């Protein structure tokens, strides 16, 4: 009986400690608000980390000042200034494998918080200005080594990461997964064509529901809409269109110079730090052609709905008809073709080249997929790359 009672006391003490660590806040560094202790889990392992929320001001395009929130994750134990990883545009969540990878190495991780449709719609405007302000704020945090800053992002976040690399000095390394590099092609041409193809297959009821974005956030409406989107020729692209068609609409009619200025292709030579770009061949949301034209699957357009092409228009004016790769110095670039039909355990980064473009070959573009049809992760080596550079 005494052994059982002792075991119960140990168990109760353990629960009490978990309550203290996960619920009760502790005092943060002098530069910020209170932090809470949270526990990240992976494959049976636990990682204690500190989380706080910061509201920061930033100047908008119209000259007004607004505020948005950031999430700041810090190592549980910190004895010296740490490298910073800034996750651009999108929020990084506690189930994200990369967060565990970064915090396990003792780094500080910062990302925007609660990226809503309004923020997504201002991707190339106010959202970009906010991310610039957020990165400056994050690099100046107490306990961060501002000389060791890495930026990462995926899709629209990859776009933002590349733009930050062009406009924000001091970044030491960038990883961009499936990045939008050409706003004219990706949003103004391609996304609009996918929206038109999906619209042609929609019922009038569905068209009416999605005409009011606020309705989409009603759970009952959302459940119906999601079920109907699954029947469309490009279902995942239809979901993306809700957030990013407003960006295309806001830029409609813009001249070549503006599209170039607001796109990474307009600043390819200005990104001077080590850079890794990861992209799948099957990506139907951000076609690979705008990053690099590989010619691996020349007949892909036949797989797409009528009026939709994943091919970059080479006749477009200026840089709008060029891939990101074409604007780089070939001597600085390694293109790594990685067939996903084979086991790949290598490090998709060669330090002999400042820029590494990793083409993950999982077959031709898939209209029903998202950023890939294989379900594989291209970010497994991100932390290892940052560790080399930072």
Q: Which is higher by pLDDT, 27 or 38?
A: 38
Cβ atoms 49, 38 nearer than 8 A: yes
pLDDT higher than threshold 70 for residue 19: no
For the chain, what percent of residues have pLDDT higher than 90? Answer: 74
pLDDT band at residue 12, thresholds of 50, 70 and 90?
Answer: very low
pLDDT band at residue 209, thresholds of 50, 70 and 90?
Answer: confident
- Given this model, what pLDDT does residue 203 score? 86
Residue 106's region, left for phi above 0, alpha for psi from -120 to 50, else beta, is left
Q: Which residues have C-beta within 8 Å of that of residue 63, sequence separation ≥ 6? A: none
Q: Which of 384, 295, 302 is nearest to 335 (CA)?
A: 295
Q: Which structural domains are found in the chain, ordered by start?
A: 42-182+254-389 (3.40.50.1820), 187-251 (no CATH)
pLDDT tens, residue by residue, 260-284: 999 999 999 999 999 999 999 999 9
For the chain, what percent of residues have pLDDT higher than 70? Answer: 88
Return d(Cα 244, Cα 325) in angstroms, integer: 24
pLDDT tens, residue by residue, 160-178: 999 999 999 999 999 999 9
Q: Which of 250, 268, 248, 252 is nearest to 318 (CA)?
A: 268
pLDDT higher than threshold 70 for residue 376: yes
β partners of residue 25: 36
pLDDT band at residue 116, thresholds of 50, 70 and 90?
Answer: confident
β partners of residue 49: 38, 75
pLDDT band at residue 33, thresholds of 50, 70 and 90?
Answer: low
pLDDT tens, residue by residue, 68-107: 999 999 999 998 999 999 999 999 999 999 999 999 999 9
pLDDT band at residue 21, thresholds of 50, 70 and 90?
Answer: very low
pLDDT tens, residue by residue, 319-367: 999 999 999 999 999 999 999 876 566 678 999 999 999 999 999 999 9
Q: What's the chain's average pLDDT?
A: 88
Q: Which residue in the block uniquely carries the two structure tokens 């899709």? A: 155
């Amino acid at each position: 009986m005494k052994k059982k009672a002792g075991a119960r006391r140990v168990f109760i003490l353990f629960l009490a400690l978990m309550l203290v660590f996960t619920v009760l806040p502790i005092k943060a560094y002098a530069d910020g608000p209170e932090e809470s202790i949270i526990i990240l889990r992976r494959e049976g392992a636990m990682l204690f980390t500190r989380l706080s929320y910061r509201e920061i001001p930033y100047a908008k395009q119209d000259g007004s000042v607004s505020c948005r929130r950031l999430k700041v994750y810090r190592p549980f134990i910190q004895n010296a200034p740490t490298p910073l990883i800034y996750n651009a545009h999108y929020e990084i969540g506690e189930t994200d494998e990369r967060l565990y990878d970064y915090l396990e190495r003792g780094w500080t991780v910062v990302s925007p918080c609660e990226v809503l449709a309004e923020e997504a719609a201002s991707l190339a405007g106010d959202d970009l200005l906010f991310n610039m302000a957020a990165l400056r704020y994050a690099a100046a945090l107490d306990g961060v080594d501002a000389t060791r800053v890495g930026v990462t992002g995926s899709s629209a976040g990859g776009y933002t990461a590349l733009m930050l690399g062009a406009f924000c000095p001091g970044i030491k390394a960038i990883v961009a997964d499936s990045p939008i590099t050409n706003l004219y092609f990706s949003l103004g041409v391609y996304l609009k064509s996918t929206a038109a193809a999906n619209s042609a297959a929609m019922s009038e009821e569905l068209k009416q529901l999605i005409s009011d974005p606020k309705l989409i956030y009603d759970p009952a409406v959302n459940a119906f809409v999601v079920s109907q989107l699954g029947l469309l020729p490009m279902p995942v692209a239809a979901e993306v269109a809700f957030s990013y068609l407003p960006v295309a609409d806001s830029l409609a009619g813009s001249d070549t110079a503006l599209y170039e200025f607001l796109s990474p292709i307009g600043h390819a030579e200005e990104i001077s730090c080590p850079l890794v770009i990861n992209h799948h061949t099957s990506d139907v949301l951000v076609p690979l052609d705008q990053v690099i034209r590989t010619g691996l699957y020349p007949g892909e357009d036949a797989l797409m709905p009528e009026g939709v092409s994943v091919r970059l228009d080479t006749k477009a004016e200026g840089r709008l008809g060029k891939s990101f790769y074409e604007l780089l110095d070939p001597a600085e670039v390694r293109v790594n073709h990685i067939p996903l039909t084979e086991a790949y355990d290598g490090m998709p980064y060669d330090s002999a080249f400042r820029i590494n473009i990793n083409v993950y070959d999982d077959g031709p573009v898939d209209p029903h997929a998202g950023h890939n049809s294989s379900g594989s992760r291209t970010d497994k080596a991100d932390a290892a790359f940052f560790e080399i550079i930072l």
